[in-house]
Each structure stands twice: as C-alpha cells, then as structure tokens.
Amino acid sequence: MKKVGIIGVGEYLPEKVLSNADLEKMVDTSDEWITTRTGIKERRLVSKHEAVSDLSIKAAKAALRDAKVKAQELDLIIVASITPDFQFPSVACLLQNALGAKGAAAFDISAACAGFVYAIIIAQQFIARGNYKNVLVVGAEVLSSITDWQDRNTCVLFGDGAAAAVLSEVKSGGILSTYMGCDGSASELLMVPGGGSRNPTSHKTIDNRMHYIKMRGNELFKIAVRSMQEAGEKALSLCGLSAKDVDCFIPHQANVRILTAVASRLGIAQEKIYFNIQKYGNMSSASLATALCGAVKEKRIKKGDIVLLDAFGAGLVWGACVIKW
Ligand code: ACO
C-alpha cells in the first residue's frame, strides 16, 4: 500500500458577512446568547447567484495551485456537500468541467458535517491501492439555501463556504489511520424532510417549511461529544498514538462547547484546538475543510506534526483521521 498525504489546500469564503447583531434584527435572539451558547460571532453568506459549485471552483483552484498539480493531472474529484447545485448532476461533475480536469472521474458524497473526513478516507483508498495518483477532495456548502431564517433555534448557527485538498502519494508521513462510524437510528434528529422521494416538493412541503434544516440541537449535543470522542480515540489507537502525541486538533466546528468538551475528554490541551467557528459558524462539510486550510495557512501545523481531524454530523455519522504532516 502506498503512503497517502495532503499535498495542497485552498479555501473560498463568500464576502458577505452576517453578524450576530444582524441576526438580532431578524429573529428573537441576542449576540450574548449566540456567543455564549455557540461561540459564533459572524458567518459568511453567498451572494444571490452563487451556488456550491462556484465556491468549490475557487477553493479547488487554490488547492491545486498550493499542491502544484494541474487540473489535467487529477484522476478523481470527490465533493462532499448536502447543498449541491442540483439534485443531479453532481457538483463534482460541474467542477470537473469548470477545471478542465478531463481525465478525472467525479462524484459527490452525502455525509453532512463528516463529509470532508469521509471524502479524505475514500480518496486515500484509491491512491493507497495504486489506482489513482492525484485526488481532489472538496467540502462545500451553501447552508443559507436550506436555513429557515424564521427559526432562531437553527438560523444563528449556519454559514456558507468551501475548501479543498489535493491528496497524493507521499514518501513519508501522511495519513496514519482512519475511522468512520454511523448510527442511522437517530437520523430524525437532524434532517431536511422535504424535497426528496419521501416527501416530494409540493405546496404542502413548502407551506410546512419542510425544505429547511430541522434540528433537535439539545439531543444532538451529547451524541456529538460522545461520537467525536469515540472517533478520535479509535483513530489514535489504530496508529498506536495517544492524545498527548497530537500537535493540532481540528474538529468539525459545530459549537465551541462541543469542541472543548471533546478535547478535554480525549485529553488534548485546549490550546491545540483549531477554531474558525467564531468567524464562519457551522458550514457542515466545509467547516472541517476550511479549518484544515486555516490551520495550514496560519502555520498552526508544521512538517512532522501529528494532526487529528474529527467530525460528526447528520446521519448520524462521524469519522476521524490521524495525519503526520
Ligand atoms: N436565541 C435566544 N434563545 C434561543 C435561541 C436563540 N438563537 N435558540 C434557542 N433559544 C432558547 C430556546 O428556546 C430555549 O429556551 P427555553 O429554555 O425557554 O425553552 C433555550 O434557548 C435553550 O435552548 P437549548 O436548545 O437547550 O440550547 P442549547 O444550550 O442546547 O444550545 C445549540 C442550542 C446551540 C443548538 C446546541 O444544542 C448545539 O450546538 N447542539 C449540537 C448541534 C450539532 O452538533 N449538530 C450536528 C452538526 S450540524 C450538521 O450536521 C449540519
């Protein structure tokens, strides 16, 4: 099996900023509530005609530049998104065309907030077995398109953004271990009930606001902490490492309180956690992707460091990955 690593990263965040003060004018909430309960101060929103593929293209180009890989050298493109441009074709196909990656196969995956770590794990398999050389992985979301702007329980949490990574064979280090988990029995805790084959779009689904995110946040909170702890522990033990070996902990950015609780349960020092939730909110698959990109660009990760990626999301699904940078 070949060693597989991340050889380049890039991100794109839309320019428009929505602050907690802006939200105070839209729903019955306060900056104080949002800040203390979630850690979020502001989030980015797309402009009127921007869709997930537009964000993905910009993030992908930045990652390809960083990796010094040409689009024509890509063998596979995987996009993790729960807010694709269309039900079909996939975002990955739109991206393949926009990049001119003529030799690349392409598909999307649906694993919500764990989508980026799931996509990295899938990409690793293709490269490790020698099937493919360069794989582009993207986490991209326009959550504002499925956010109910009248529901204060959810609308304060989400934002839009994208980031990408190029994976390839590396001589040393790279991905040391991976772990994925799922509990489909709790899927109703977080879903968009309308618009699929269960409840096809109709006047009724629109009147009942079924095309928006429905979340039982309080119940999810405990499961998120438990699942991310389990994923982190499993991934570390699979490569014979422990929490004290971790130099940078990059979790899915769901809630500052979740992240600090997971780190302390794992035994990872709080200063090793990378946060971007304060400026971007929860961007589902794009959260872990932009957090990884931010940690690299801000030099929070240096060569030889042990990095733990850890995510949890709708499904419910969770996953983790240990990388020697
Ligand atoms: N502003 C003011 N008050 C609010 C707001 C708001 N925006 N939202 C809720 N409240 C109120 C509630 O109505 C409730 O009031 P009540 O006590 O009078 O009934 C009170 O605040 C407490 O509500 P809780 O839901 O218990 O608040 P909690 O501390 O649990 O925080 C939150 C809510 C932030 C959603 C938290 O539960 C959380 O982060 N959950 C996990 C989310 C998660 O991990 N999701 C999975 C990943 S996301 C994905 O996959 C797309």
pLDDT digits (tens, 9 = 90+) for 107-158: 999 999 999 999 999 999 999 999 999 999 999 999 999 999 999 999 999 9
Instruction: Let me know: does 155 contact 148? Beta carbons within 8 Å.
Output: yes
| Predicted local distance difference test score (pLDDT) of residue 133 | 97
Percent of the chain topping pLDDT 70: 100
State in Å: Cα 233 to ligand 1 middle.
27
Structure tokens at 276: 């971007």
Please check whether residue 140 is in contact with residue 82, taking contact to mean a CB–CB distance below 8 angstroms: no
Query: At 278, phi and psi to the nearest 5?
Result: -60, -35
Q: Which amino acid is at 111?
A: A
- Dump pLDDT digits (tens) for 187-221: 999 999 999 999 999 999 999 999 999 999 999 99
33 CB within 6 A, ligand 1: yes
pLDDT bin (cut points 50, 70, 90) of residue 9 is very high
- 216-238 average pLDDT score: 96
pLDDT band at residue 6 using 50, 70 and 90 as cut-offs: very high
Q: How confident is the model at residue 89 (pLDDT cuts 50, 70, 90)?
A: very high
Please write the tens of the pLDDT for every residue from 252-274: 999 999 999 999 999 999 999 99
Nearest to 106, CA basis, from 143, 56, 162: 56
Cα 108 versus chain centre, distance:
13
Spot the catalytic one: 93, 113, 248, 321.
Answer: 113
Residue nearest (by alpha carbon) to ligand 1 atom 13: 153
Active site residue 20: no
Residue to substitute in 221, 285, 287 for testing ligand 1 pocket (most ligand atoms within 8 angstroms of CB)? 221
CA pair distance 28, 54, nearest whole angstrom: 32
**Interval between CA 256 and ligand 1 midpoint (Å):** 13
Distance CA 185, CA 29 (A): 32
The span from the CA of 59 to the CA of 303, in Å, is 23
Omega before residue 220 within 30° of 0, cis: no
Distance of CA 168 to the CA centre of its chain: 20
Spatial strand order of the sheet with 4-12 comes to 4-12, 160-169, 135-142, 76-80, 105-109
| Residues 309-323 pLDDT 10s | 999 999 999 999 999
Report the separation in Å between the CA atom of 188 and the middle of ligand 1, taken as the mean of its atom positions: 16
Q: From the alpha carbon of 112, which atom of ligand 1 is closest?
A: 50
Q: Is the dihedral of CA 139, 169, 125, 236 positive or negative?
A: negative
Q: Is 211 a catalytic residue?
A: no
Q: What's the longest Cα–Cα distance across the chain?
A: 56
Average pLDDT score over residue span 280-290:
98
- Please list the alpha-helical segments (H only) found in the chain: 20-24, 31-38, 52-67, 91-99, 115-128, 152-155, 203-207, 217-238, 256-266, 277-280, 285-297
pLDDT digits (tens, 9 = 90+) for 28-87: 999 999 999 999 999 999 999 999 999 999 999 999 999 999 999 999 999 999 999 999
Closest CA to 149 of 211, 80, 204: 211
Res 283: pLDDT: 98
Note if 248 is an active site residue: no
All domains of the chain in start order, with CATH: 4-171 (3.40.47.10), 176-324 (3.40.47.10)
Q: What pLDDT, on the 0 to 100 scale, is given for residue 280?
A: 98
Rg (CA), the chain: 19
> What is the rounded average pLDDT of the residues 5-30?
98
pLDDT of residue 255: 96
Pairing of strands 306-313, 16-19: unpaired
